Structure formats: C-alpha cells, structure tokens
Structure 1
Amino acid sequence: MPTKIQFAVLYMGIVLAAIGQGGTRSTIAAMGANQFDNAEDQAIFFNWYVVILYASAVLGSTVIVYIEDSFSWALGFGLCVVVTLIGLTIFLLGNRYYRHIKPQGSPFTSLARVIVAATRKRKIPISSKSGDYYSEQLGKVEKVVALPTESFRFLNRAALKTAGDTNSDNCTAKPWRLCSVQQVEDLKSLIRICPILSSGIFLSTPIGVLMSLTVLQALTVDRHLGPHFKIPAGSMIVFILASTAISLTLIDRILYPIWQKLSHQSPTPLQQIALGHVFNAFGMIVAALVESKRLKITKTQHPTNETNSTIPMSVLWLVPQMAVVGIGEAFHYPGQVTLYYQEFPTSLRSTSTAMYGMIMGIEYYMSNAVIGLTQRTTGWLPDNINNGRLDNVYWMLLVVGVINFGYYLICARFYRYQNVGKENENYISDR
C-alpha cells in the first residue's frame, strides 16, 4: 500500500504535468500562428499542428504504454523525459528566428476597464461624432479615430471623452474611466463569439460520452486480433486519434485544394465547424446501429446475464463509430482554433488557442453528468450493458447534437467576421 508521501508525490507529478500541458499546448499553437501574416497560412498551420498533436497522442497511447507494460514504467517515463528535453532544445535553438509579440500588459485588465468605464458613464448620452471618442496614440502619431460599432452600444460610453479624462498630450489620465475605441471593440468581439463558443461545448460532450461507452462495449466483445494480440478496452480512443490525424492530412492535401479550385476560396472556419457537427451526428447514428446489432447478437446467440461474458462479435465493429467521430474532429478542432485565434483580440491570442482545451475540460465533466443523469432517470445504462439500451443513449445524443447544430447554424448565420484580413501591427522580430 503506497504511503501518504508517495501519493503526494504522485498527485504532484500529475498536477505539474497538467499545468505543463495546459501552458504549452495553447501557447505553442498561438506562437506558431504568430509567425504567419496570412490567415490562410495560419489555418494550414493549425491543421498540421493538430495532425502532429494527435499523431503524438497515438504514439504515447500505444508505444509508450507497450513499453511500460512490457518492460518498466521507469523506462516509459524516462523516454517521455528524453523526448521532452529534445523538443525543448529544438524549440530554444530557434529562438533567435522567431517573431515575438510586444508585451502590452494584462489584456484582462483592459477588458475590465471597459466595463467599469462604461458603467461609470452610463448616464452620458452616446455621441455620433468620431471626435468625441478616444483613440490611443502610436508614438507621436495619433491614430485616426473611428466610430465604435453600433452593437452593444452601452459599451461605447467607455471611449467617450469627458473633462479630465485625458492629459495635455492627449493620453488617458484615468484608465478606469476612459478606454480607447479599440479596447471597446476588443470586448465586443469576445461577446459576439461567446454563442459559437458555447455551441462547441455541446458539440464535444457527445464525443466524451461516446468514448466512455465504447470502452464498456469493448469489454463485452471479442477484442482479439489474431491468436496473440488482444486490444485493451481502454485503448479504443486510439482509433479516434488516428482517424483525426489521418483524415486531417487527407483533408489538407486533397479536399481543401479541390474546394479552393471549385469555389475559388478556402473553407471558412465556420464552415469547417459545421462539417464537424455533421460528422459528429453521423457518428452517433453509426454507434446506435452498431449497438443495436450488438444487443441483437447478445439476445439471440449469447443470452446470459454474466457481467464479464464475451459475445461472438469482433471489436472491429466499434471502429467505424470512432473513425467517423475522428473525421468530424479533423474538421471542427482546427476550425474552432482558427476561428478563436482570428477573432479574439490580438492581446488575447494565446488565450484564444486555449479555448478548445477549456471546452474539452468542460466536455469531460458534462459527459460524466450526462452518463450519471441517464443512469438515474432511465434503465438504459445498467451495470451490465447487455441488459440495457445503449443504442437509445446514442439516439438521445444524436437528438441533442442536431438541436445544438441548429443553434450553431443560427449563431453562424448572424456572426460577422471581425479580424480576418486585418494587417497585424503587433509584431517585432529578434533577428
């Protein structure tokens, strides 16, 4: 039995690994995209970033796990340390060639100032004259003041100049009372994208439920591939990872060039996400049909109530549902990352690439909640799924997915891109 100190060391390692992954995954994505000026090049980068991310996850879930099972855990973790150090060395060697962003302070403070300033000036009438609004200066040259947009007009008051708000050099004297038009528009862009961001949570939740339930299905079927190899039930997620990596490679090299040739433009991030919704729904249909077949075999050829019994059905029947969902992820994952990166304020781009990670985190909690709620309110998920109706769970997820897709289409219909095509003025080079 491990001691309390050993448990403390274990959990400390898990926490440090989680912090490291959370910190590097989003910042590497943002930093890589920062090296490109063109939105299309950035989208291509995100595609290949996801390919490498998922391909490495496949290697970690297969090769490293095999080494840990066949040799030792120390060797497996040791290889991970070596690979990490090699990656860090390569990353640092390229530092002099990277394009870096000028530090500009906390972007969250800037957003908070807009809310506070707008609230403090809530009784001031909104002006239609551009000269009444404040714009930051670039060195000694004052920016041309543009009128703030009409949406969320309440926030426009934050940029209204009143007596005592600026110094003699026209710089803001009270940053919690006067903000620039750009700061106001940055907050508005976040508000506009929130509905699409929320639809991503319910897009990912069925995937989390599918992964959990597929493991339960795999435990009841024949997992042998040949006389000597047996697929671990917990490794079924590898099929989603592999499907995403392979599909995204084909999509980027074959499908998108054909799309560009036929439509004379690249698919937009919103279109990519929509395709992800479609494939995700199709994956639920495939999962429901496969489960119906599994239940039929259980009832007709293997009528037993034993929890650990195996039915005469190959585990390969479960691969299509994972593959289809993986194809959907090849569309909506890079689509979401690209959309958030392009549409978030420049100062929040590192945060923007972390949004999908946040969605995935919420997804796991939501999927557990869905499974728990289904168990408490229906008889579809008993301890022995051979006596349940797992297919009904998948049909339910399909209905939820279709409703969420309708919600997404409404959000996408009224959404207007804000930052695509804008020149980036924030970069400096250390060359």
Structure 2
Amino acid sequence: MAGTHSSHSREEEAQKNIGGGWRSFPFTIAAVAGLTLASSGILANLIVYLIQEFNIKSISAAQISNVVNGSTSLFPFVAAMLADSFFGSFLVAFVSSCVAFLGTVVFALAASIKSLRPEHCMKEASSSLCEAPSGVQYGVLYMGLTLAAIGFGGMRFTAATLGANQFDNPQHQAIFFNWYFVTLYVVSVAGFTGIVYIEDNVSWSVGFWICAASNLIGVMVFLVGYRHYRPDTPQGSAFVDLARVAVASVRKWKSELSSSTPQNYCSDGLVPAESGVPGKRLSFFNRAALVTDGDSIEKSWRLCTVEQVEDFKKVIGILPLWTSSIFLSTPIGMVSSLSVLQALVMDDQIGPHFKIPAGSIGVIVLFSASIFLSLLDRVLWPMYEKLVGKTPTPLQRIGIGHVLNVLGMVVSAVVEWKRLKMLHDENKSMSVLWLFPQLALVGVGEAFHFPGQVGLYYQQLPESLRSTSTAMISLLIGIAFYLSTALIDQVRRSTNWLPDNINVGRVDNVYWMLVLFGAINFVYYLICATFYKYHKV
C-alpha cells in the first residue's frame, strides 16, 4: 500500500515475458473476494442456521461450528503440501474453488427443498419437542459442510501464496499480503452483514444462492487470469527432504569419518567441515551432511546436502514460535462462537426498526481489523519508522497482538459478568452493543499478529515450502478451533458454566480462564521470540 508506483512499473517490465507482477494482482484478489463472500455468508450464520433450521441445541451448534471452522483452517495445510510438492499453487487453488462451489450449491439446495430439513420448530416449543434431523438430512448437511470446508480451506491461503509468488521484491510481497488481508476482512464484513441480513430477513435460500453465485464468479475470474500468472514449479516433497535430515542425523550418531579431513556434502560438491556451513545453531543435525564411512549420494536417507540441513533447521527454529500462536488463536475461536450465543439472549434492538442479527456480531472483529490494517500501513508504521528509524519486526507485531488478545478476553469477562448481574438482579437484558469493545480489541489484535505471522513464515521458511509457509497460520487456526471445541466440552463436563441456556451459566468464568491461559502463553511467546534468530531475506 506504500508509495511504490515506480518500483511496481520496473518489476512489471522485468516480468513482461514471464508473467507475474502487479498485472496478476486484480485476478487473484477478485477470486479471493468472490470465495470469501461465499464462505463468510455461510460460516458467519452457521450457528443460527443449525439452531433455527436443523433444531440443534445451542452449545452443540457452537461445537459443530468450531469443528467446521477448524477444518476450513486445517485443509489449507494439506492443500499447501500438495501445491508445493506436486501440483503447484494455481491448480490446487482452482480445484479447491470448484469444490467450494459444490458445497455452496448443496447448502442452497438444502435451504430451498423442505424435505432436506426437519420440521421448523416454533420458538415457544420446548427443545425436547422439536423434531431432530433424519439421517438423510444430517447426511446432506454434513456433505455441504465437508465440501465447503475442503474447498474454502484449500483455496484461501494457496491463492495467497500464488499471489505472493508473482513478486521477487519482499516489500512488494508484504504489500500484497496487506491487500490480501484487507480484502479478506472487508469482503467478510459484507458477508457478515449483507448476506446474513438476507438470510435472517428474506430467506436462507436466497442468501445461500447468492453465496453460490459469488463463488462461481470468483472461480471464473481466477481462471481468466491464468495467462497473467507466473507459473510455480513444484519441487517434490520438501517434507521428505526434512524427514531425511532427521533420519540421517540419528543414523550417524556414532559414525566414523570417511577421512582425516571432515567434509560436508553440498549440492555443488564437497566442502570442508570448517567452512562454517552448515551453521553452528542446532549443530546436532549438521552430521546429516557430514561425509562418513558408508555414505554415498544414492543413500539419501543417510547423506543430505548442506542446503537440506539448513532448511530443516529453519523449520525447527520457527516451530516454538508457531506453537505459541496456537493458543493465541484459541480464544478467538471461542469468542466467535460464544459471542453469537450471547447475542441471541441480549437486546438486539437498535432504534425502533432495526435489529442486529446474532450471526453478524462477528463483523466487529473483521471491521476493526480491516480499518486498523489500513491505519497501520498508511499512518502508524510510517510514523514509527520516522521516529525510530526502522520498521517494526514481525515478532514485535505478533507480540502486540498477544497483549491485545488478552485484553479482549478481560473485557469479555467483565461484560458478561455485568450482563448476568443485570439479568438476575434487575431482570433487564443488556444491549448487544456491549459486545462491541471486546470484539473490536480482538480485531485490532488480529491486524497486528495475523499479517505479522504470514510475513514471518513466508520469508523465514525455505523457498520449497512457500505454500506451506502461508498455510502454517491457517493450520494453527484450525488446531485452535478444534482445541476450543475440546475446551468447551471439558468445561461442560467439569463445571456448570456452559449449559444450553447460558443465562443460568457462567460464561464470564470461561473468559477469565482464557485470560489466565493467554497470559501464560504470552510469557512463553516472549521466551521463544527472545531466542529466535532471523535468517537473511
């Protein structure tokens, strides 16, 4: 987003004959926008859809939603491995977007054909009297959820990698990632508001068919832009190379050197072991490249190149930071589901004629994140650079995100405590607007840590793992959603904080628990960040 017009034109001129550059940008971003509108229109209101149209109880609906969101975030990692190892980013992203389209069509059909849903349950009826979905109805529901999770997940971050691969300049890659996240958030805002409003006030069928149309348009635009993309060549399974380093290091634990002068195996030939490559950090794995008795080039599970060893050490070095982000995302997953349940029992009336749909409450996170991303890129980071003389590192951005996330959980706990107090002491329903501050804090935190993490992984991991690097953040989000589902289940088993009727529960205690875990995790992150060493970009 920064002023880089002249450098843009130079890069486009250099890439005129090989594709890529900024001319590919509109097609990638438009495709991401089309599929994001479709996915947000379905996933944002999923809890409400399950409760109202499939007669599923509230906490169970929240857990199903977490599993779906987790799967949508796990599949990008599988897609990234396929892209890096075998098929390339374009083909994987294109096939995934087609699968997503099938999922949206299944949702639209289920909403349009009455026999594919159980009989509508009246609000006045007891939940025990509501008709449960049949096996066929559950089958159609889960088929739509599975196709949507695979398709949306496979497209999202693979397209991000394809877009970043069009540029050689790290600054241009960073600008692309900023625009990518702005598009993701802004279009999600449209889905969380416009599509959800249509689903709640017009019909679920119309809303889901709009999602299918948006998905189809995104696929078509993505395909039209094919001739403008710089092709990426899969380099074989990088994960196999990483495994070879680990195996070779263990196998050569006590091996004897093949000569009196130690040598390392490099892709260009043999180099003296005293040459400084591979580096001293995590030196245990250096033995994988050390030539010993019985080694040969053909025995790749015993002898690896220096480059493979260094790539392996890059991955191992960044894993502690990556694990610290798992619980950074877990509260986000819990807030996304619990805030919808809170909104369902709060006063949603804004003025005499408008009600805030419960499924749209998450738009505050997206809205605050998209606004703050723009402020960071155009105002705050340039000011910081003028004052300090350098831009903040990705680790500093992620650290600020940790702090804001914990503050968001503190506000969430206080607001829920106040809501229960008003309900029980004064018999008053708190306005849903009180959920805005906590969700805004979470969104601002995302503006710091999500782009920071994507940029860190993309630049610091080996080039052979480019698609995987951008999907690492998606993988941790997926794990976090599954962890939040397991955590909700454990809380339900161990306490009375999360009954189906949260008005008689203690959701505030759940938030205080997340504050404690978040604070411990932040200390762990600081330790990991202190010992991490950046590789040259």
Short-chain TM bin: 0.7 to 0.9
**Aligned: 1:27 with 2:158:** yes
Listed as ranges, the matches of 1:15-414 within 5 Å are 15-124=146-255, 132-137=263-268, 147-162=277-292, 165-166=295-296, 172-302=297-427, 311-414=428-531
* Structure with greater proportional helix content: 2
- C-alpha separation between the residues in 1 aligned to 2:229 and 2:294? 42
Distance 1:260 1:228, change over 3 A: same
1:218 and 1:233 in contact (8 A); partners too: yes
- C-alpha separation between the residues in 2 aligned to 1:163 and 1:393? 59
- For structure 1, the 5+ residue unaligned runs are 167-171, 303-310, 422-431
- C-alpha separation between the residues in 1 aligned to 2:343 and 2:152? 29
Question: Is 259-268 or 191-200 further displaced after alignment?
Answer: 259-268
Please list the CA deviations of residues 346-391 of structure 1 after superposition, one character each: whole Å capped at 9, or x if unmatched: 1111011111111111111211222232333334334443344333
2:264 and 2:271 in contact (8 A); partners too: no
- C-alpha separation between the residues in 2 aligned to 1:232 and 1:389? 23
In the TM superposition, residue 8 of structure 1 has moved relative to its aligned partner by 4.0
What SS does the aligned partner of 1:214 have? helix
In the TM superposition, residue 4 of structure 1 has moved relative to its aligned partner by 5.4
Q: What letter matches 2:530 in structure 1? A: R
What SS does the aligned partner of 1:288 have? helix
Q: What letter matches 1:330 in structure 2? A: A
- C-alpha separation between the residues in 2 aligned to 1:245 and 1:86? 23
Question: Is 340-349 or 95-104 further displaced after alignment?
Answer: 95-104
In the TM superposition, residue 99 of structure 1 has moved relative to its aligned partner by 3.0
Question: Is 2-11 or 98-107 further displaced after alignment?
Answer: 2-11
2:164 and 2:173 in contact (8 A); partners too: yes
2:255 and 2:293 in contact (8 A); partners too: no
- C-alpha separation between the residues in 2 aligned to 1:292 and 1:62? 27
- C-alpha separation between the residues in 2 aligned to 1:32 and 1:268? 22
- Aligned match of 2:84: none
In the TM superposition, residue 143 of structure 1 has moved relative to its aligned partner by 9.3
Listed as ranges, the matches of 1:414-429 within 5 Å are 414-418=531-535, 420-421=536-537
How many equivalent pairs are there?
404
Please list the CA deviations of residues 269-323 of structure 1 after superposition, one character each: whole Å capped at 9, or x if unmatched: 1111101011111111211221232233123311xxxxxxxx3321101111111
In the TM superposition, residue 98 of structure 1 has moved relative to its aligned partner by 2.7
Distance 1:13 1:254, change over 3 A: same
Q: What letter matches 2:378 in structure 1? A: R
Distance 1:60 1:127, change over 3 A: farther
Question: Is 125-134 or 243-252 further displaced after alignment?
Answer: 125-134
What SS does the aligned partner of 2:231 have? strand
Please list the CA deviations of residues 375-419 of structure 1 after superposition, one character each: whole Å capped at 9, or x if unmatched: 33334334443344333322221111111001000000000012x
What SS does the aligned partner of 2:528 have? helix
Distance 1:217 1:403, change over 3 A: same
- C-alpha separation between the residues in 1 aligned to 2:474 and 2:388? 32
What SS does the aligned partner of 1:353 have? helix
In the TM superposition, residue 70 of structure 1 has moved relative to its aligned partner by 4.5
- Aligned match of 1:426: none
Distance 1:82 1:376, change over 3 A: closer
What SS does the aligned partner of 1:134 have? strand
TM-score of the aligned structures, taking structure 1 as reference length = 0.85
2:257 and 2:293 in contact (8 A); partners too: no
Report percent identity of matched pairs.
56
TM-score of the aligned structures, taking structure 2 as reference length = 0.69
In the TM superposition, residue 109 of structure 1 has moved relative to its aligned partner by 1.3
1:380 and 1:388 in contact (8 A); partners too: yes
Distance 1:351 1:143, change over 3 A: farther
- C-alpha separation between the residues in 2 aligned to 1:379 and 1:297? 20
- For structure 2, the 5+ residue unaligned runs are 1-114, 117-133
2:196 and 2:360 in contact (8 A); partners too: no
In the TM superposition, residue 202 of structure 1 has moved relative to its aligned partner by 0.8
What SS does the aligned partner of 2:456 have? helix
Q: What letter matches 2:387 in structure 1? A: L
What SS does the aligned partner of 1:94 have? helix
Q: What letter matches 1:191 in structure 2? A: I
1:136 and 1:143 in contact (8 A); partners too: no
1:288 and 1:395 in contact (8 A); partners too: yes
